[in-house]
């Protein structure tokens, strides 16, 4: 199993969810996060005070999938979240050792 | 023309200078001198003053509290709200106990006496003078109206040293400051014997037959004119409190910001407003409430009140636009905080002028105030590096000075102003540019000196007694938890 972690622009969330639904992915965890990469930040001005804001609001998605599906999930997210502008985000894929569905006690593939 | 409303006149200086010779030229007036009728109370005026009084309270809570609160970081939101609300409560009680008496009774030209302490002798039927001969309002509503001014002035100061001053220090500073600074300045600017006393004395002088009677009547008139505050006697005019409220609070704020010191992390860490939405709500409530402040300062529901209302509309809008366009040009973006701050700067600047300038003069005043305050809140503040957290000095002191000086210019009837009533003649006095601007400038300088020095001494006393600042680790945690044991927002 793999866990796919994607950090995307907030307004791309709906498109990404639709794309993953189309692949048969039936669950995800979403977190509002802040961070920066090549986009760096932006400048805010309050009266005379100028602040460089380094951390920009992003959405982090975590999706647990069977290993065979991971590449297609990555491709789907990449396609749906892309604007071509700097700051589109990143996707990370990690190995996932165990999964348990709490209600039934099912494990691993059956729990996804 | 009927009586123009205003705070002060050239009455004192003119009467002393010109004296009897001017009055002798008015035989017609002498004939009406006989019986000065007891001033009467009018239900319309009373209703308007009740309304204006609660509008000024609305400016402070929640208006000013939200305006400032939104500019704070979320960890200090309750602290700011508490500073403002506490100030309203403590000053209200002090005002009833001795503040009104010290401000609005005779005594010296610097401070009144204690004859009305504990509201002694006052009943719902007691009367207070307006700016028209023969017209009074209930003294209770005058007391309550002026109470709201005494409440908002120290509440304005808290924005300068917000986010680091201990609550205990503020709790002690506010009663000391209103007693030693606000009451004297308000007395100096606004206390006078009233139009009926001057009118009656002037008519008695005109009616006096022989030389001995004339001398006695002149002495009486001089005495009535001398029964007023020092700045009033100088002939400075301040319709609704440019000196008393805004310069007074603004310079105290600057002194406080310097003595309390910069916030931990000032200039290095992000100190962005936590809710400009609340700041917008607060600024808008300030504008609405300010109609009570300015138009209410007319004390009557008459032409002077509607003039003050129109001026408070147009000057505010002009200053908001002025700030917005200057910022747009200088920084590339027109900010919401900018247009809001410009509006407040315009309200401040038009305060002393609201009953004296014409509407076109008020627009010019607003345009100037918006740009000048922008310059002070950005360039000047950055150059000197003081941490006036919410720009109490840059907006209230500077806006107040712009307004106070230009009031002396815009009152000129040739510029659309009302001119200044002389109650000894019952006419609008001749406008003298240099005389008026010098009188305005003297009022500004005295207010800056009295409040600046007085506030510095009081901050030092408070520092010795309870300490001005919270500990750095508590400041980092936020004053809401450190001082009040509460949070504004659920974690």
Per-residue pLDDT of A29-84, as tens digits, reads 999 999 988 877 788 899 988 888 888 999 999 999 999 999 999 999 999 999 99
Question: Does A53 sit within 8 Å of B379, measured CB to CB?
Answer: no
Q: What is the pLDDT of residues B96-109, one digit of tens each?
A: 999 999 999 998 99
Cα distance from A101 to chain B (closest Cα, Å)? 29
Q: What is the pLDDT of residues B374-404, one digit of tens each?
A: 999 999 999 999 999 999 999 999 999 999 9
pLDDT over threshold 50, residue B231: yes
Among the partner residues A45, A47, A51, nearest to B270 by beta-carbon distance: A51
Q: If we measure between CA atoms, which residue out of B169, B33, B148 comes closest to residue B100?
A: B148
Task: Give the best residue of B378, B383, B396 to mutate against chain A (max A CB count within 10 A).
Answer: B378
Q: If we measure between CA atoms, which residue out of B268, B221, B220, B273 comes closest to residue B390?
A: B273
Calculate what percentage of chain B has a pLDDT beyond 70: 92
Lowest mean pLDDT among A49-53, B28-32, B192-196: B28-32
Beta strands in B107-150 (DSSP E): 127-129, 135-138
Q: How far apart are CA B403 and CA B247, in angstroms?
A: 10
Q: The whole model's pTM is what?
A: 0.88
Lowest mean pLDDT among A15-19, B9-13, B313-317, B456-460: B9-13
Cα distance from B155 to chain A (closest Cα, Å)? 21
- Phi, psi (degrees; rounded to nearest 5) at B469: -110, 155
pLDDT over threshold 70, residue B23: no
Please report residues of A whose CB lies closer than 8 A to that of B271. 49, 51
Helix (H, G, I), strand (E, B) or coil at A35: strand
Contact of B184 with chain A, judged by CB distance below 8 Å, is answered with no
DSSP secondary structure of A67-100:
GGGHHHHHHHHHHHH--SSTT-EEEEEEE----B
Mark which residues 360-389 of B lie under 8 Å from A by CB.
377-379, 381-382
- pLDDT of B32 reads 44
Q: What is the pLDDT of residues B40-95, one digit of tens each?
A: 999 999 999 999 999 999 999 999 999 999 999 999 999 999 999 999 999 999 99
Q: How far apart are CA B116 and CA B92, in angstroms?
A: 15
Q: What is the mean pLDDT of residues B458-462?
A: 98
Question: Does B377 sit within 8 Å of A45, measured CB to CB?
Answer: no
Q: How far apart are CA B1 and CA B23, in angstroms?
A: 19
Q: How far apart are CA B177 and CA B174, in angstroms?
A: 5
Q: With left for phi above 0 and alpha for psi between -120 and 50, is residue A105 left, alpha or beta?
A: left
- pLDDT of B25 reads 43
- pLDDT of B11 reads 43
- pLDDT of B4 reads 40
Complex-level ipTM beyond the 0.95 threshold: no
pLDDT over threshold 60, residue B18: no
- pLDDT of B14 reads 41
pLDDT over threshold 90, residue B1: no
Beta strands in A13-55 (DSSP E): 29-35, 42-46, 49-53
Task: Give the best residue of B67, B68, B270 to mutate against chain A (max A CB count within 10 A).
Answer: B270
Question: Does B379 sit within 8 Å of A45, measured CB to CB?
Answer: no
Helix (H, G, I), strand (E, B) or coil at A109: helix
pLDDT over threshold 60, residue B16: no
Lowest mean pLDDT among A34-38, A101-105, B253-257: A34-38
pLDDT over threshold 80, residue B3: no
Cα distance from A46 to chain B (closest Cα, Å)? 7
Lowest mean pLDDT among B137-151, B171-185, B421-435: B421-435
- pLDDT of B30 reads 41
Calculate what percentage of chain A has a pLDDT beyond 90: 79
Calculate what percentage of chain B has a pLDDT beyond 90: 90
Q: What is the mean pLDDT of residues B402-420?
A: 97
Confidence of residue B36 (pLDDT cuts 50, 70, 90): low
Cα distance from B279 to chain A (closest Cα, Å)? 12
Cα distance from A72 to chain B (closest Cα, Å)? 38
Contact B103, B191 (CB under 8 A): yes
Closest-CA residue of A relative to B266 is A49
**Per residue in B304-322, is it b (16+ CB within 10 Å) or e — as a string?**
bbebbbebbbbbbbbbbbb
More confident residue, B19 or A22: A22
Contact of B333 with chain A, judged by CB distance below 8 Å, is answered with yes
Contact B286, B59 (CB under 8 A): yes
- pLDDT of B12 reads 42
* Inter-chain Cβ pairs, chain A and chain B, closer than 8 A: 28
Question: Does A49 sit within 8 Å of B338, measured CB to CB?
Answer: no
pLDDT over threshold 90, residue B363: yes
Q: How far apart are CA B9 and CA B419, in angstroms?
A: 10
Please provide the size of chain A in residues. Answer: 112
């Amino acid at each position: 199993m793999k866990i796919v972690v994607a950090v995307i622009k907030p307004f791309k969330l709906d498109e990404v969810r639709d794309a993953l639904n189309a692949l048969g992915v039936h669950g995800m965890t979403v977190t509002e996060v802040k961070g920066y990469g090549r986009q760096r930040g932006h400048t805010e001005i309050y009266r005379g005070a100028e602040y460089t804001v380094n951390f920009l609001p992003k959405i982090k998605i975590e999706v647990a999938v069977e290993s065979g599906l991971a590449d297609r999930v990555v491709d789907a997210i990449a396609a749906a979240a892309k604007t071509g502008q700097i700051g589109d985000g990143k996707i990370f894929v990690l190995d996932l050792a165990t999964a348990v569905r709490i209600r039934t006690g099912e494990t691993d593939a059956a729990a996804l | 023309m009927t009586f123009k409303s205003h705070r002060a006149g050239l009455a004192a200086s003119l009467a002393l200078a010109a004296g009897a010779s001017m009055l002798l030229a008015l035989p017609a007036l002498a004939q009406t001198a006989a019986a000065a009728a007891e001033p009467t109370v009018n239900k319309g005026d009373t209703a308007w003053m009740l309304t204006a009084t609660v509008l000024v309270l609305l400016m402070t809570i929640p208006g000013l509290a939200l305006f400032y609160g939104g500019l704070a970081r979320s960890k200090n939101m309750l602290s700011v709200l508490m500073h403002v609300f506490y100030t309203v409560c403590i000053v209200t009680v002090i005002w009833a106990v001795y503040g009104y008496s010290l401000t609005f009774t005779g005594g010296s030209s610097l401070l009144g006496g204690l004859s009305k302490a504990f509201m002694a002798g006052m009943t719902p039927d007691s009367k207070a003078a307006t700016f028209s001969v023969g017209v009074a309002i209930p003294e209770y509503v005058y007391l309550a109206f002026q109470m709201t001014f005494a409440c908002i002035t120290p509440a304005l100061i808290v924005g300068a040293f917000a986010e680091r001053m201990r609550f205990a220090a503020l709790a002690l500073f506010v009663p000391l400051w209103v007693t030693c600074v606000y009451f004297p300045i308000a007395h100096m600017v606004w206390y006078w014997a009233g139009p009926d006393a001057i009118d009656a004395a002037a008519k008695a002088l005109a009616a006096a037959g022989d030389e001995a009677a004339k001398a006695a009547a002149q002495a009486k008139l001089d005495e009535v004119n001398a029964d007023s505050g020092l700045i009033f006697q100088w002939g400075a005019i301040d319709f609704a409190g440019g000196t008393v409220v805004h310069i007074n609070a603004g310079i105290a704020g600057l002194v406080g910001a310097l003595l309390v010191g910069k916030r931990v992390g000032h200039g290095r860490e992000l100190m962005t407003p936590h809710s400009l939405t609340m700041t917008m709500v607060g600024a808008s409530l300030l504008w609405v409430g300010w109609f009570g402040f300015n138009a209410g300062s007319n004390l009557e529901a008459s032409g002077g009140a509607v003039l003050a209302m129109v001026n408070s509309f147009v000057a505010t809008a002009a200053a908001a636009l002025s700030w917005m366009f200057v910022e747009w040009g200088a920084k590339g973006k027109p900010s919401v905080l900018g247009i809001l701050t410009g509006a407040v700067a315009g309200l401040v600047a038009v305060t002393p002028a609201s009953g004296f300038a014409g509407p076109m003069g008020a627009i010019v005043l607003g345009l100037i105030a918006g740009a000048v305050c922008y310059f002070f809140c950005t360039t000047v503040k950055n150059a000197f590096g003081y941490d006036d957290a919410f720009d109490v000095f840059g907006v209230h002191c500077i806006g107040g000075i712009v307004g106070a000086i230009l009031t002396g210019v815009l009152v000129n009837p040739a510029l659309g102003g009302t001119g200044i009533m002389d109650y000894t003649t019952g006419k609008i006095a001749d406008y003298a540019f240099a005389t008026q601007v010098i009188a305005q400038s003297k009022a500004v300088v005295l207010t800056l000196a009295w409040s600046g020095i007085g506030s510095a001494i009081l901050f030092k006393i408070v520092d010795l007694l309870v300490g001005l600042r919270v500990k750095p680790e508590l400041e980092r945690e936020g004053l809401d938890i450190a001082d009040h044991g509460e949070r504004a927002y659920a974690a």
